[in-house]
Amino acid sequence: MSETAQKSLLYKLKPISDRLPAVSRPVGHVHFRTKMMWVLVVLVVYFVMTNVYIYGLDRGSTMDLFAQYRTIMAGASGSLLQLGIAPIVTASIIMQLFVGAKIIKLDLSNSEDKACYQSVLKLLVLVMIVFEAVPQVFGFLVPSDTAVDKLGDWGAKSLIVFQLFLGSYIVFLMDEVVSKWGIGSGISMFIAAGVAESLFTGTLNWNAVDPGAATSLSNPPAGTIPKAIYVISNTSPAEMSSFGYEYILLGEPNPLIALLGTIAIFLLVAYLESSRIELPLSHGRARGARGRYPIKLIYASNIPVILMSALLANVSMFALLFYSNDVLSGIPFLGGNGYIGHFEPGETQAAGGLAWYLSAPMGVTSWLLPILDPGSYYNGHSPLLNLMHVLIYFSVMVLGSILFAKFWVETTNMGPRAVASQIQRSGMQIPGFRRDPRVLERVLERYIPAVTVLSGAIVGALAAFADLVGTTGNASGTGVLLAVGIIINFYEAMGREQMMEMHPVMRGFFGGD
C-alpha cells in the first residue's frame, strides 16, 4: 500500500463499497465480436428504458428540471432514465475535485489506490442518485391521483424515488458493462445515442409541431427540412420575401441556421479530432521497428464538457428548487433569492439571476437578435445584459473545461509520468534518448500539460459557440460536440481493438489484456 493510501480515510469505506453489486472484469482477452455484441445489447436496453415510464407519475403536471440539458444527461423525461447520467457524472466531479485538490490523498498511478477510488466512487454514485432524486420527486415530479389514492402521498413519492434509483443504478451498471466487456465508455455511448435521435427527428420530422391540429404556416412540420419545403410550397414570392425566408432561417422550431450550425460543428470537430502531435518511437530490442505516439489536440477528449455541463445542470436545478419549492424557498438568504435565480411560473429555465447568466443561450434568436433589434426581439433583458450573458457563459465554459481537463488527465493516467511508464512497459523509446522513464517523462512534459489546457479551452469554446449558434432538434451545442467526438473516438477504439485482435503483441501497448 502506498504512503498516501495509508493516510486516506476512503479505505475505511472500501469494505462497504466492495459489497455493492458490480460488473466483474473479464478473465483474459474478450473477442472483438463479443465486445461489439455487448455494446449493441446495452444500447438496445438503454433505448427500451427511455420508453419505460415511471409508474404512478402524473406526466401532465410534471416539470422537467433538466429540460435544457436533457440530451447531455442522456435521459428521457418521465421515464426510468429521468435522471440519466447526472448522478454518475456529479459523483465523478466531486471525486476528481477532491483528489485534484489533495483533500482525498490518493495516488491514482498506484493500482491499489486507484481500485479504492473506483470502489468508493460507486458508493458516491448511490448517494448522488438519492441526492438528486429526492428533491425532484418532492418538488416537481407529481404523483398521479391513482397512485396517491392507493399508497398515500408519501408512499407514491417513495415509489417514484425507488424507480428513479433503480433506473439510475442500472445505467451505472450498463456503463460498467461497456467499459469492461465492450468498447469505449457507456456514458459516452448513451449521450451519442440520445443526441443522434434528437438530430434525426429535428431534421426530418414531418409531423406538425402540434400533432392535434392541422398543418399550417402557424403549425408547420417540426423538422427543419420538411418545414422549409412546406413554407416554400405554401407561400407566394411576396410572402417569402416579407417573412418566409426569415421564418425558415430563424423561426422556431428547428430553424435552418441551426442545421447549418450543426453541420459546421460536425466538420470543425472532425478536423480538430484528427489534429495531433506525433512523437517518434523505436523498439529498444527489435532493430528497425518504429512507431509513433500520437498526442491529440483534443487530448482530454470530450469529458471536460460533460463534467462542466453536469455542473451547470445541477446549478440550474438547485436554483429552481431554492426559488420555487415550498420548503426550500423559506431558507434564509438562499430561498426565493432572485439574485441566485429568478424563474417564471411553470418554467424550468432561469429568467434572471446567476442561474440565467450560467445557462446556455439556445440559438441566435435568444441573444443576438435581442441585441441587434431589441424592439422586435425583446426577451426581458437589455442588449447590455444579453451581451454580458453571452460573455459570462462563454468564459465559464472555457475556464471550467480547462480545469476539468487537467483533473481528468491526472485521474485517468494520461499525464506525462503515466504515459512514460506505459511507453516504457511496451518496450518502446524515443530515438536519440536514453531508455529511461524519467527521460520520457521530461520529453512528454513539454507537450502534454500545454495540450491539456489547450484541449480543454477548445472543447469548452466549441460547446459554447455551438449553443450560441443553435442546433437542430434542441440537441444543444454541447450535445452535438460530444456526439461528434464520441463517434470519432469510438471509431478509433474499434480500430485499436481490431489491431489488437490481429496482433496480440500490441495489447500491452494499448493497455489491453
DSSP per-residue string spanning 104-121: S---TTSHHHHHHHHHHH
Per-residue pLDDT, 282: 72
- Give the residue among 304, 309, 209 at the shortest CA–CA distance from 254: 209
- 268-297 tens-digit pLDDT: 888 888 888 888 777 655 555 567 778 888
CB 341 within 8 A of CB 322: yes
Rounded to two decimals, the pTM is 0.76
The region of weakest confidence among 102-116, 240-254, 498-512 is 498-512
Question: What is the mean predicted confidence (pLDDT) over 448-452?
Answer: 92
Per-residue pLDDT, 19: 85
Report for 130-139, 230-239, 302-311, 470-479: range of highest mean pLDDT: 230-239
Q: Cis ω on the peptide bond leading into residue 253 (within 30° of 0)?
A: yes
The region of weakest confidence among 77-86, 142-151, 469-478 is 469-478
What are the structural domains of the chain? 1-182 (1.10.3370.10)
Assign 508 a pLDDT band (cuts: 50, 70, 90).
Answer: low
Per-residue pLDDT, 489: 81
Flag whether pLDDT at 418 surpasses 50.
yes
- Give the pairing type, strands 290-296 and 276-283: antiparallel
Question: What is the mean predicted confidence (pLDDT) over 197-211?
Answer: 89
Per-residue pLDDT, 481: 82
Place of cell 466483474: 24
Flag whether pLDDT at 103 surpasses 90.
no
Assign 247 a pLDDT band (cuts: 50, 70, 90).
Answer: confident
For residues 53 and 83, give the distance between their C-alpha atoms in angstroms, rounded to a whole number: 13
Question: What is the mean predicted confidence (pLDDT) over 54-67?
Answer: 80
CB 129 within 8 A of CB 83: yes
Flag whether pLDDT at 509 surpasses 60.
no
For residues 92 and 175, give the distance between their C-alpha atoms in angstroms, rounded to a whole number: 13
For residues 74 and 167, give the distance between their C-alpha atoms in angstroms, rounded to a whole number: 12
